[in-house]
Amino acid sequence: MIVCDQKSTLYSLVAKTITSEVIEKKIITIDPIKGIIVSVYSEQSPEFSLIYQEAKKARALVEYPDHIWLFAAFGDVHIHAREDVSGLHLYKEDFQSVTDASYNGGLLFACDMPNNPVAPIDDETYLAKYRLSMRVPFALLPYAGIGPKTSPLSFLVPYKAYMGHSVGDLFFTDSPSLDLALERYRQQYVSFHCEDPDILERHKNESDHFARRPIQAEFEATRFALKLIEKYELKGKLCHYSSGDGLELIVEAKKRGLDVETEVTPQHLYFSEEEILALDDKMRQTQFQMNPPIRNRYNRELLLKALSEGHIDYLATDHAPHSPAEKLKGMSGLTGLDSFGAFTTWLMLTKNIDPKIIAKVAAENPGEFYNRFHRAWLKDSPYQKVQGLGLGKIEKGYSASFTLLDTTQPQSISKEFLKTKALDNPFLYQTFPGSVFRIYFNGREL
Ligand SMILES: [Zn+2]
């Protein structure tokens, strides 16, 4: 697609460019050898026409019509890629299928959760997992797990703490033991799965998944997580947030100066408990089972409102693939990578969420989350995959990685469309108003 003069290595993209601050046509000049952005000028600036003419003369210009929207690379700060040194969960997903599904959804990087059979919990196990991801051209940053007996790694990584049951030893059955463990993680980046283990225990014999994992469990766990974030000066992130009322606690904590951020999943913004319970097919109901569960309409509307008002920091899928047989047995976890980009067009074109907010929650904030680890050690390590200053910004010196959406070409989510090994997606049979048009990674169109 790129018309490029053999002698010239630089090329320029002209497109309607969306950042958290402004939506305007820009000319972005790229060095594909270094993989970085060389310059960015808006249509209003005097440099625009000069560079445009030069690039055109050099046959190094790619111009997109206005219905194609260019964002910095989309990234997902919460996925379960399933691959680890044990290989026990490769039937669910692996780094290659995660790469394929991510590209399909317009995602260029992701952060991978640690609840593997061999969990990354120290330098050695963390880097062993990292090495496995080196064979794919996709920037995967693992989280390290926090368990009752673990300690921080010797270099800066994101951590995940599970409140409530998950896989292996990476969970705390009671709150005081989590408190005790986090004392060792003072000032670290810690993400929380917020469901209070005591409340879950009291409801474990209820008749359906919604009742077994009530919203009070999330509300109480939020209070506790915020207390720990304050007590140990953590840089906290609350995962896949689903409780509308709980958001008030978070907004208030942010106002008090706490370093806390929030993720929300596409499925919590789109579906409701009422809709799932109304499905005739009970088997189809179990397909929607995840933790925390999809909540009722009231909560969904509060989550959408919070997103539109700028209180949500990350749109994150919590992509958690299982085999079809496991899903039928009622195993919790939904996929989401394949549908990510198309879903954002539903938010913007159907729910009128400002595209600048999408730039923030799907590109800039995930980029900044990744960049701090990139800056701290990744960029100078053998595990480096992202060029320049990092991801998430359309500015000189940053990686020339972009997600382009077509706002006029609808996307139906069919089985044939999916690249995840799970061959499942909560949005199966739905059609979104737009689609992923093209992706660029480190200056190259993929
Ligand atoms: Zn998860």
* Residues 98-124: tens digit of each pLDDT: 999 999 999 999 999 999 999 999 999
Quickly count: other Cβ atoms within 10 Å of residue 65's Cβ. Answer: 9
CA of 43 to the centre of ligand 1 (A): 41
Q: Structural domain boundaries of the chain? A: 11-66, 75-380
CA of 77 to the centre of ligand 1 (A): 10
CA of 320 to the centre of ligand 1 (A): 7
Q: Which residues contact 56 (CB under 8 A, 6 or more apart)?
A: none
Q: What's the pLDDT at 166?
A: 52
Q: What's the pLDDT at 208?
A: 85
* Residues 313-326: tens digit of each pLDDT: 999 999 999 999 99
Comparing CA positions, the residue from 113, 85, 74, 100 lying closest to residue 423 is 100
CA of 162 to the centre of ligand 1 (A): 9
CATH superfamily of 75-380: Metal-dependent hydrolases (3.20.20.140)
CA of 226 to the centre of ligand 1 (A): 19
* Residues 33-48: tens digit of each pLDDT: 999 999 999 999 999 9
CA of 238 to the centre of ligand 1 (A): 11
Per the listing, tokens 């601050």 go with 21
CA of 67 to the centre of ligand 1 (A): 34
Coil, strand or helix at 169: coil
Give dist(CA 350, CA 347) in Å, integer: 6
CA of 159 to the centre of ligand 1 (A): 13
Contact 160, 145 (CB under 8 A): yes
CA of 121 to the centre of ligand 1 (A): 17
Q: What's the pLDDT at 5?
A: 46
CA of 398 to the centre of ligand 1 (A): 29
- Strands 107-112 and 139-142 come out as parallel
Q: What is the pTM of this model?
A: 0.95
* Residues 232-286: tens digit of each pLDDT: 999 999 999 998 888 999 999 999 999 999 999 999 999 999 999 998 877 778 8
Q: What's the pLDDT at 38?
A: 97
Give dist(CA 153, CA 159) in Å, integer: 10
Contact 186, 236 (CB under 8 A): no
Contact 439, 100 (CB under 8 A): no
Q: Which residues of the chain have pLDDT under 70?
A: 1-8, 164-169
Q: Write down the H helix ranges in 309-364.
A: 324-328, 340-345, 355-358
CA of 116 to the centre of ligand 1 (A): 11
